Structure 1
Amino acid sequence: MAEEVKLFGAWGSPFSRRVEIALELKGSPFEYIEENVIDDKFKSPLLLKYDPVHKKVPVLLHSGKPILESLIILEYIDETWKPNPILPEDPHERALACFWANFIDEKCMPPVWKALLGTRDEREKAMEEVRECLKTHESVLNGTKFFGGETIGLLDIAANFIALWLRVIQEVSGLEFLTADKCPVLIKWCDEFVSCSVVKEHLPPRDKLIAFVKNWLSGKGWTD
């Protein structure tokens, strides 16, 4: 009997798109279930059942057992489906990949929102924080095509927010987070990553994402 793999996600979420890309790289078939995550009252009973604490996507359901939090899910996927590893074998290298993936979520993303929504003083400080984080993250590439070396790994997948979402946010808002003069290597990585066929088919359409971000910045919320 085939293992049941379901993914509860949202088309505009970089977090659920991470899981889609990882499953695709592993060659693991899955059923995708789109969730409306704007408000708890719109969320499906199944999502609330499997993640009663945070009530958010992504949720990976494997043989009836839920796994939560995108980075934890990526590690679970790599341990469960052995072909095409997305984490290095070496324990130290694995730990570094997980550290830098957390760096994106904890250090890079929060100041982006503050730069968009904070007071003038907060925005200026946040812009500098974002640029510094991106410069630091760029140094991790260290001359390789991808963060995972010559093939896409967990850290590349975790950085999908930088490759697409951040550049769309930058275009819509007019704020310059990521520029070719300051982070040329990271820009090159972005282009390589989003051009990869496995990645491309699991990223949201750029025009739809632009409209999505415009709605949010205009105060209409995260609407389709």
Structure 2
Amino acid sequence: MAANGEEVKLLGVAASTFVCRVQLGLNLKGVEYKFVEQDLENKSEELLKYNPIHKKVPVLVHKERPISESLVILEYIDDTWKVNPFLPAEPYQRAMARFWAKFIDDKVLLASWTSVFTNDEKEREKNIRESDEALKFLEDELKGKFFGGEEIGFVDIAAVYIAFWVPLIQDIGGLQLLTNEKFPKLYNWSQEFLNHPIVKETMPPRDPLFAFFKARYDNLIASE
């Protein structure tokens, strides 16, 4: 595409679901970019320069202008590169896509994560209930092959955490968060999504991530 790897940079870490969103957005558009791996334990001068407020990833740098926050970056990508749009053109549908993306961040991410990574049993049970409730809303909202219809859209990209990270953490914790029995439409969506050629190419390797988070989980359990 017209933009080359020097013009577009993505500061990130490979294991981040938020960084993965931006990678998916760029890859679905066919935008060439340079990925600059960050060490969040030892933040680079580049990261502090481009995101002095939050000091975290992802940060997209386009023509030396930085944009942070994954959903904001996705909207910028869609507005800047018009090919393969993933936000609807119609204002109401566009607003609803933003709503469901924010719903995923507000209601699914933290609840499902702390369903596994907490040593407070009451907190774990509470978050499992909240995860189930949130996933049920998404199950009911899913009307087609993807949230975007026949093609991957904004909500699908926002929901990459559900497709890839939720099954990973549920396997670690021995939970049943996203299964074909509980949420058949959402489960089938996750399989279609992960098997999409561009998504499959973009996702990080599962085994190292599983090993990393399993060690973290084992340490948490050992500390109880």
What TM-score, normalized by structure 2, do the two folds share? 0.93
Q: Which runs of 5+ in 1 are unaligned?
A: none
2:35 to 26, 32, 35: 32
Q: Secondary structure at the match of 1:7?
A: strand
| 1:213 paired to 2:203 | no
Give 1:2 shift.
4.9
Q: Which residue of 2 aligns with 1:181?
A: 181
Q: Distance in 2 between matches of 1:133 and 1:200?
A: 25
Q: Which residue of 2 aligns with 1:44?
A: 44
Q: Which runs of 5+ in 2 are unaligned?
A: none
Letter in 1 for 2:20: R
Give 1:36 shift.
1.6
Q: Distance in 1 between matches of 2:157 and 2:176?
A: 23
Alignment of 1:75-94 (within 5 A): 75-94=75-94
Q: Distance in 1 between matches of 2:56 and 2:63?
A: 20
- CA RMSD between the two structures: 1.4
Q: Which residue of 1 aligns with 2:67?
A: 67
Letter in 2 for 1:119: D
Identity, % of aligned positions: 50
Give 1:167 shift.
0.4
Q: Distance in 1 between matches of 2:78 and 2:212?
A: 31
Q: Which residue of 1 aligns with 2:146?
A: 146
What TM-score, normalized by structure 1, do the two folds share? 0.93
| 1:5 paired to 2:32 | no
- Deviations along 1:33-60, one digit per CA (max 9) or x if unpaired, are 11122x2xx1211011111111111000
Q: Distance in 1 between matches of 2:56 and 2:216?
A: 18
Q: Which residue of 1 aligns with 2:172?
A: 172
- Deviations along 1:117-172, one digit per CA (max 9) or x if unpaired, are 15111111110110111111111112x00000000011100000000101000011
Give 1:113 shift.
2.9
Instruction: Detail structure 1 runs of 4+ shifted over 6 Å in the superposition.
Output: none
